[in-house]
Structure formats: C-alpha cells, structure tokens
Amino acid sequence: MATLCRPAIAVPEHVITREQTLSLARELHAGHPQLELALRLIANTGVQTRHLVQPIEDTLRHPGLTRRNALYEAEAKARVPEAVHRALEHAQLTPEDIDMIVYVSCTGFMMPSLTAWLINTLGFRPQTRQLPIAQLGCAAGGAAINRAHDFCTAYPRANVLIVSCEFCSLCYQPTDLLVGNLLSNGLFGDAIAAAVVRGQGGTGVQLHHNGSHLVPRTEEWISYAVRETGFHFLLDKRVPGTMADLAPALRDMAALRGWDISDLGFYIIHAGGPRILDDLSTHLGLPPTMFRYSRATLTERGNIASAVIFDALERLFQDGGADHAASGVIAGFGPGITAEITLGAWDATGTSDPSAVQALAQAPV
C-alpha cells in the first residue's frame, strides 16, 4: 500500500508582515472607496508573515508577462532542486528510484514542463513518467497526492515524486482594484514543496482511498482571466461559504470506509483563509485545535496555493506525527469549486504489510 512520506518545504528569503501589507494598502489605494473594508478583511485573514520570491519593491512593479514568466522559470530551476533532494532523503530513495514526477503549479507556465528539466538535470531515468497539473489551483496539491496514489495502486512497486511550485506574488496585478483582489494581495504567499509517495515501505500517511467532489455551477467563483498582462485572479465573495457543500462530501467519503469524519486522528486541510477552517470546524463538529497545522501554515506563510497541504503535513511530522494507525484526512480545495480528498492512516513503522495498519485504522480513534 502506498505511503506519503515526509514533505520538504522551501520558502523564499524575502518576507512581508501583515503590518507592512496594511501600510502598503493604505499608501497604494488611499482613494479607494472600499479601502477600510479591504483593510479589515486583510487584517482578519490571520496571516502574520508571507514569503516572496522578490523584494516587495520589485513585486509591486509589473515588467510584463514575458519577464515575469522568465523569472518564474529561473526561480523554479534555482529553488526546486534542493527541496527535491530533501524529499528523496526523507523517503530514503534516489532519483533512479522514481517512476513518475507530478509537477503542480498555477502561477507560471512552462512547456515542456519543469518535469523535463528535472529529469535531465537531477539524474532521474529517461523513462520517468511526467504528469504536470496546471489548472486546479489550490486543489492541485490534493490532486497530485491522489494521482500518485492511483499510479502506485496500478504499479505497486512504483515511487512517485510530487513537486509543488507556487510563486503567487508573480501574479500581482496593480490595476486590479476589486475588494477581492485587494484581499488576495494580502493573503497569498510563495513556497515550494516536494514529497514522495512510495509504493512500498516508507513512514507517513498510508493512503487508503481518494476521490474528488465538484460543487455544481461554481466554476466562475475562483478563476483566472488571461489578459495581455498575464493571469488576473478572480475571487467571488461566495467562496468562503462553500464548506457547507464540501463538508458533507468529506463525510460521505469517510463513510465509504466506515469512518466517522468527525472522529479521526489527524486533519490536513487546505488553509485558504480562516473562515474555511472555522466553517469546516463547525460543520464537522470539531474543535478548532484539530486544524492547528493548517492554521499555522496560514499564519506563517499565508495561502501558498497547492503547497498548503504539504506545509501543514510537514508540521504534523515536526510534531512527532500521529499515533500509529490513526486514521486521517487530507483535503485541498480550489477552482471548480473542487475538493480533492485523501483518506489514510498514519504508519510509523514503514511496514511492507499494510494489514495491521488497515485493521487498526478501522477502529474508532
């Protein structure tokens, strides 16, 4: 049975605080008729710090799509390899052991994908399969885990490397002045994550079941408008309320394994914003502390798109992990509105025989 091993997280060295963000918003948008509302929304995100791939003075400039995308490619090539090497070390594997690379990003474009460059540069075999995912936004981290799980189910001895590279700051558009855009300017951050799904062996989350759920007729609620200046992020004010639709989907998926979604050992949830976590806590009848890793990611990194769930999972590892065989859920939410959901159990032993973990995971936590 496939196991999601410990992720490696890398964040850029340039940091902006909430106070700096609010000060910049006051300075840049002094005459905005809804400035006070935007400031209040930014302050309520809970984001204290974010990491940016450029200094803030460069981030606020718009040199054009060509130069921005060139910067995306250069920074990805400079920063991704170190995270990849650490993720492989966590999984006790080498590049030659990897059978597929899943690369997720919604903040820049490359063709061929960065997967080709990684294979040519870092010693992966030419036969390594490539799966780039570019249009699932924040849900792509969950989709990457699920597609890796599917691959390892089809090829039980295979190993899959997942790479998430999100430079959200490169999508800043100084002419977008809707309140939702001003909010996003104070919410999103930059980060890289890498993790390995091992078909056999490895410690971490033993993957049992995965699935997707799309909330009907919400495809315009989170989207990109592609214009001459690049990607323009569109965010509908109804997005925070979508947990009323997605919480039942989580509950139904857990029930397929005979689990109670409100009685699991760990929860790794995409931290799109504080209301997402607050509403999910209410709908699932969970104490807020069950989402502490996701909240820590939001506070210290902001919304780092598809990398959120890997950052939150790394915090669980840092905390010593869950109890052996404790059942849990990983869920990423994004455009669609789409949920990518993974059910699994904590395996602290790296056993090649999953029967003991499976049996224990059926019991209430």
Q: Where are the beta strands (DSSP E) in 135-203?
A: 159-167, 190-198
CA 280 to CA 248: how far, in whole Å? Answer: 10
Angle between helices 35-43 and 18-28 (to 10 degrees): 170
147 with 279, same domain: the answer is no
Q: Tell me if 270 is assigned to some domain.
A: yes
Contact 283, 275 (CB under 8 A): no
165 is catalytic: no
Count the helix, strand and coil residues of the chain and give each as a percent rounded to the nearest 5: 45, 25, 30
Convert the pLDDT of each residue in 126-177 to its tens digit: 999 999 999 999 999 999 999 999 999 999 999 999 999 999 999 999 888 8
Angle at CA 162, nearest 5°, toward 147 and 186? 105
- Among the candidates 154, 183, 198, a domain finishes at 198
Q: Tell me if 360 is assigned to some domain.
A: no
CA 65 to CA 42: how far, in whole Å? Answer: 27
- Among the candidates 164, 198, 232, a domain finishes at 198
pLDDT at 165: 98
Angle between helices 308-318 and 140-154 (to 10 degrees): 70
Domain that holds residue 71: 3-198
pLDDT at 352: 46
CA 187 to CA 184: how far, in whole Å? Answer: 5
CA 341 to CA 309: how far, in whole Å? Answer: 11
Counted domains in the chain: 2
- Among the candidates 198, 227, 254, a domain finishes at 198
216 with 145, same domain: the answer is no
Q: Tell me if 61 is assigned to some domain.
A: yes
305 with 281, same domain: the answer is yes
Tokens 């650490």, residue located: 86
Q: Where are the beta strands (DSSP E) in the chain?
A: 3-4, 8-10, 14-17, 49-52, 100-104, 129-133, 159-167, 190-198, 204-218, 222-227, 230-235, 266-269, 327-334, 336-347
215 with 93, same domain: the answer is no
132 with 247, same domain: the answer is no
- CATH code (residue 230): 3.40.47.10
pLDDT at 333: 94
Asked if residue 337 has a cis previous peptide bond (ω within 30° of 0), the answer is: yes
Please give the biggest Cα pair distance in the chain. 64
pLDDT at 184: 86
208 with 296, same domain: the answer is yes
Q: List the chain residues with pLDDT less than 70.
A: 351-365
Which one of 5, 106, 138, 165 is the catalytic residue?
A: 138
173 with 229, same domain: the answer is no
From the list 308, 278, 280, the residue with the least C-alpha distance to 294 is 308
Contact 2, 199 (CB under 8 A): yes
CA 166 to CA 137: how far, in whole Å? Answer: 10
| φ/ψ (deg, to 5) at 247 | -60, -45
pLDDT at 222: 85
